[in-house]
Amino acid sequence: MQPMMPSLRDPAPSRLRYRMQRWMLTPGIRLGLRLGVPLALILGAGGAWLADGARREALTTYVDAQWQAIQQRPEFMVNLVAIDGAAPPLADHIRGIIPVSLPVSSFDLDLEAIRQTVLGLNPVQSAQLRIRPGGVLQIEITERTPAILWRSRTGLEMLDETGARIYRVATRASHAELPLIVGDGADAKVAEALALIDAAAPLGARLRGLVRIGERRWDVVLDREQRILLPETEPVRALERVIALSEIKEMLERDVAVVDMRLSERPTLRMSAEALQDWWRIREINSSGQ
Amino acid sequence: MTDLYQSQRAMRQMRQQAMQRGVVAILDIGSSKTACLVLRFDGVGQLSEDNSIGPMAGQSGFRVIGAATTRSRGVQFGEVTAMQETERAIRTAVQAAQKMAEIRVDHVIACFSGANPRSYGLDATVDLEGQVVTENEVARVLSACEVPDYGAARRVLHAQPVNFALDHRSGLSDPRGQIGQSLSVDLHMLTVDADVIQNLVHCIRRCDLELAGIASSAYASGVSVLVEDEQELGAACIDLGGGATGISIFMKKHMIFADCIRMGGEHVTGDISMGLGIPASTAERIKTFYGGVHATGMDDRERIDIGGDTGDWEHDRRTVSRAELIGIMRPRVEEILEEVRARLDAAGFEHMPSQQIVLTGGGSQIPGLDGLASRILGQQVRLGRPLRVQGLPQAATGPGFASAVGLALFAAHPQDEWWDFDIPVDRHSARSFRRAVRWFRDNW
pLDDT mean over A30-43: 93
Between the alpha carbon of residue A79 and those of residues A69, A130, B86, the distances in Å are: 17, 13, 86
Query: Can you say whether the dihedral through the CA atoms of A82, A87, A89, A93 is positive or negative?
Result: negative
Lowest mean pLDDT among A123-127, B107-111, B334-338: A123-127
Domain boundaries, chain B: 119-192, 265-329
pLDDT at B59 over 60: no
**Each residue's pLDDT tens digit, A274-284:** 888 888 899 98
DSSP 3-state assignment of B268? Answer: helix
Is B205 at the interface with chain A, CB within 8 A? no
pLDDT, residue B329, reads: 93
Q: Considering all CA atoms of chain A, what is the largest pairwise distance in Å, rounded to the nearest integer? A: 171
Check whether A110 has a pLDDT greater than 60.
yes
Q: B63 and B100 in contact (C-beta within 8 Å)? A: no
Three-state SS at B378: coil
Neighbouring C-alpha atoms within 13 Å toward the C-beta of A134: 6
Q: Is B82 on the interface with A (CB under 8 A)?
A: no
Handedness of CA B11, B13, B17, B20 (dihedral sign): positive
State the nearest Cα–Cα gap between A26 and chain B, in angstroms. Answer: 6
Q: Is the pLDDT of residue B58 over 60?
A: no
SS3 assignment, position B19: helix
**Is A176 a residue whose pLDDT tops 90?**
no
Q: Which residues of B touch A31 (CB under 8 A)?
A: none
**Per-residue model confidence as pLDDT tens digits over A63-104:** 999 999 988 888 888 888 888 887 888 888 888 888 777 778
Sketch the domain layout of chain A as residue ranges.
74-143, 186-284
> In this complex, which of A11, A12, A26 lies closest to B104 when CB atoms are compared?
A26
Q: Are A148 and A194 in contact (CB under 8 A)?
A: yes
ipTM score of complex: 0.72
* Burial degree of B378 (CB within 10 A; 0-12, 13-18, 19+): middle
Is B104 within 8 Å of A27 when comparing Cβ atoms?
A: yes
pLDDT at B381: 92
- Range in B44-53, B191-200, B273-282, B315-324 with the lowest mean pLDDT: B44-53
The predicted pLDDT at position A6 comes to: 57
Chains A, B: CB pairs < 8 Å: 33
* Cβ-nearest to B92 among A13, A22, A26: A13
Min Cα–Cα distance to chain B from A13, Å: 6
Q: Which of A1, A7, A24, A25 to mutate to test the interface with B (most CBs of B within 10 A)?
A: A25
pLDDT of residue A210: 85
Amino acid identity of residue B401, one-letter, is: F
* pLDDT of A224: 82
- Summarised one tens digit per residue, pLDDT across range A111-123 is 888 888 888 888 8
Q: Using CB atoms, which residue from A10, A11, A22 is nearest to B208?
A: A22
Dihedral class, residue A204 (left if φ above 0, else alpha if ψ from -120 to 50, else beta): left
Where does B119-192 sit in CATH, by number?
3.30.1490
The pLDDT of residue B424 is 60
Rg of chain B over all Cα atoms, to the nearest angstrom: 24
pLDDT for B44: 57
Do B91 and A21 lie within an 8 Å CB cutoff?
A: no
Say which amino acid occupies B403.
S
Residues sharing a CB contact under 8 Å with residue B117, sequence separation 6 or more, in sequence order: B157, B190, B191, B192, B216, B218, B258, B259, B260
Phi-psi region of B177 (alpha: psi -120 to 50; beta: other; left: phi over 0): left
Q: For residue B208, which residues of chain A lie inside 8 Å, CB to CB?
A: 18-19, 22
| pLDDT higher than threshold 90 for residue A268 | no
Q: Measure the CA–CA gap between A197 and A210, rounded to whole angstroms.
A: 8
Amino acid at B276: L
Which pLDDT tens digit goes with each residue over A131-163? 888 888 888 888 888 888 888 888 888 888 887
Residue A231 CA to residue A220 CA, distance in Å, equals 11
Domain A186-284 architecture? 3-Layer(aba) Sandwich (3.40)
Residues of A in contact with B88 (CB under 8 A): 10, 12
CA atoms within 13 A on the CB side of A17: 11
Give residue B431's pLDDT band: very low, low, confident or very high (50, 70, 90): low
Q: Which residues of chain B make contact with A21, given a CB cutoff of 8 A? A: 95, 98-99
Q: Across all residues in chain B, what is the average pLDDT?
A: 85
Distance from C-alpha of B385 to C-alpha of B216, rounded to nearest angstrom: 18
CA distance A30 to B98: 14
Which of A4, A15, A18, A30 is most worth mutating to test chain B (most B CB atoms within 10 A of its CB)? A18
- Lowest average pLDDT, out of A68-72, B14-18, B50-54, B232-236, goes to B50-54
pLDDT-above-70 percentage for chain B: 92
Is A18 close to B95, i.e. CB distance below 8 A? yes
pLDDT of residue A223: 83
Per residue, the 3-state secondary structure of A239-256, as one string, reads HHHHHHHHHHHCCCCCCE
From B217, B226, B264, B225, select the one nearest B244 (Cα to Cα). B264
User: pLDDT (tens digit, 9 = 90+) per residue, B4-30?
Assistant: 667 777 888 888 888 888 889 999 998
Closest-approach residue (CA) in chain B for A23:
B104
| Residue B331: predicted pLDDT | 93
The string of pLDDT tens digits covering residues B169-207 is 888 877 888 888 888 888 888 899 888 888 888 899 888
Which residue does chain B place closest to A24, by CA atoms?
B104
DSSP state of B47: -
Q: Which CATH superfamily is domain B265-329 in?
A: ATPase, nucleotide binding domain (3.30.420.40)
Which of A12, A25, A27 has the CB atom closest to B89's CB atom?
A: A12
Tell me the pLDDT of chain A averaged across its residues: 84
Architecture of domain A74-143: Roll (3.10)
pLDDT for residue B47: 56
Is the per-residue pLDDT at B52 higher than 60? no
Nearest CB among B92, B98, B104 relative to A11 is that of B92
